[in-house]
Structure 1
Amino acid sequence: MLEKFHNNLTLYTLAFRCKMSLDRFPFLYTNALKFHRRNDKEAYQDVVTNLTEIVIDGYPRSANSFALAAFKSAQKKNYSIATHVHTSSQIVMACRYKVPTLVLIRKPSDAVVSHKSLSLEINDGDKSLRKIPLSLYLKAYIQFYSLIYPYRDRFVLGKFEQVTTDFSSVIREINSRFSTSFTVFEHISDNVQHIFDNSGFHLSPSRKRNSYKKEVYEELSDFPELLSRAEQVYQRFL
């Protein structure tokens, strides 16, 4: 949901809600997504199938891009990776297919604020996008992790702090859990800098995004009950 957005608050909100509703039906959602992406080979491969070799996914802004880049940079071969779908359906179907799966998770307040702030950055602070209530982002976060919670023993959980400081241990845990032999990422400063230098702007901090974060963090105070629910979901996984 980070694509360019053009002044249509109702359409964007409707799409947000429709995505959440459809996400409750994993088989239907993933197949609909594959049909939608059928003419884009790269995007099609991002959706899990029974031939996928590993899934790396989570709620947006939870170190998804860093984990993917770090994983790929360490491997000696190209694996079929399903990633960046950002829906619970992706995780549920991965578990059903018994595909090695890494689920990224971040503290809800930081994840939703960063998600909306990046959207604002991409769309130059669009006024209509500013009006999308942060409650929608919080509800999406709650739904994502609530729907995958019953499958928590079938995937490896990668906390934002661990992924961004010690991704080596995450890959070791994946190998141990799934009896795989993925090459372990050497989490040293040179390797990390290489990832930031060769990835999109969204991976690195930006002054413009930080300016949006200030106003979005203030919006959190408008939804104390939803934030509390999101934090409870987060703590269940910890």
Structure 2
Amino acid sequence: MYIDSMKTFALRTKFEIRTRAAATPWLAPVHQATVWWTQWKMRGHIDVRECQVLADTELVIDGFQGSGNSFATVAFKSCQKRPVRLAHHLHAPAQIIKAVKQDIPVLVTLRAPSDAVVSLVSRWPYVSLRQGLHAYIRFYEALTPYLGAMVVSPFPMTTGPIDQVFDAINETFGGSFAVFRPTHENVARIRSKTTLDSEAEAARRQKKSELRAAISHPDYRLLRERAEALHDRWSQHGVTPATTSSSA
């Protein structure tokens, strides 16, 4: 029991240091250390150059954990006609701000805070709900001054007509990226790559149900309201579904 408690404390502390460093400019050296750690950890799994914004980065796809980042990234990669240098799953305002300042196109995913935090904690149970809400607030507050310099994809767009999100990237930044078409077959193919096996997925759904009940407790009300206000502000800048006119 003591060893488990110490392990949880260590993992929770690592998450706190990482999220604070990623959103705080004067902690840039600490953040860079977390980038190096991520690159070492992901070696052999992905191109480690995708773990940070570099001079040849062509597009950043990022957002708070649990906001559809994996789906957006895999969908984008799946339809490109040529290799595109991406930076993704950074979960780091510092890297996004770096991209903005270098005029690199940025797509930031957005999800309602309670849903995003529940998704995060169901995957990383050592993170507390309170810690997750603080991290969500820290992430989007740090990026709010740069809202006009990125494309924002609300969760219903990321998981729905994501082709319109990619169209918005091309239109906003003058790009020519190929656009993923969210047909039933294409979506099923992407989801098969980004979801857990059926048993693990069922266990996670049960955990999410418990966490949704827990995060609605009045103890979290002030944090929820602060996070929801951020979400509402960001949603106003998000890509919206294209309207189609019907002819008489």
Instruction: Indicate the residue corresponding to 1:183 in structure 2.
Output: 178
1:47, 1:117 → 2: CA distance?
26
Equivalent residues of 1:30, 1:90 under 8 A apart: no
Q: Does 1:18 align with 2:13?
A: no
CA deviations 1:35-92 (Å, max 9, x no partner) are 3356537234221122101000100110100000110111101111100111211211
Equivalent residues of 2:53, 2:60 under 8 A apart: yes
Instruction: Indicate the residue corresponding to 1:108 in structure 2.
Output: 113
Equivalent residues of 1:102, 1:155 under 8 A apart: yes
2:191, 2:154 → 1: CA distance?
19
What are the equivalent positions in structure 2 for 1:30-109 lying under 5 Å apart?
A: 31-37=32-38, 40=43, 42-109=47-114
Identity of aligned residues (%): 32
Could you say what secondary structure the match of 1:50 adopts?
coil
1:27 shift after superposition: 4.7
**Where in structure 1 do 4 or more consecutive aligned residues deviate above 4 Å?**
none
Equivalent residues of 1:30, 1:48 under 8 A apart: no
1:227, 1:180 → 2: CA distance?
37
Could you say what secondary structure the match of 1:19 adopts?
helix
Could you say what secondary structure the match of 1:144 adopts?
helix
Equivalent residues of 1:37, 1:44 under 8 A apart: no
Equivalent residues of 1:49, 1:97 under 8 A apart: no
Amino acid corresponding to residue 10 of structure 1 in structure 2: F
Mean Cα displacement is larger for which, 24-33 or 66-75? 24-33
Could you say what secondary structure the match of 2:52 adopts?
coil
Could you say what secondary structure the match of 2:226 adopts?
helix
**What is the aligned length?**
223
Note closer, same or farther for the CA distance 1:29–1:176 as it changes in structure 2 (3 Å cut). farther
Equivalent residues of 1:117, 1:212 under 8 A apart: yes
Structure 1 unpaired stretches of 5+: 1-5, 121-128
Structure 2 unpaired stretches of 5+: 236-248
Instruction: Indicate the residue corresponding to 1:140 in structure 2.
Output: 135
2:97, 2:204 → 1: CA distance?
32
- TM-score, length basis structure 1: 0.86
Name which of 231, 237, 247 aligns with 1:234.
231
RMSD: 2.2
1:210 shift after superposition: 1.1
Name which of 208, 214, 217 aligns with 2:212.
217
Note closer, same or farther for the CA distance 1:67–1:102 as it changes in structure 2 (3 Å cut). same
Comparing both chains, which one has the higher relative contact order based on Cα–Cα distances under 8 Å and sequence gaps of 6 or more?
Answer: 1
Amino acid corresponding to residue 230 of structure 1 in structure 2: A
Mean Cα displacement is larger for which, 135-144 or 88-97? 88-97
1:119 shift after superposition: 2.1
- TM-score, length basis structure 2: 0.83
- Structure showing greater radius of gyration is 2
1:29 shift after superposition: 5.1
1:69, 1:81 → 2: CA distance?
11
2:208, 2:36 → 1: CA distance?
35
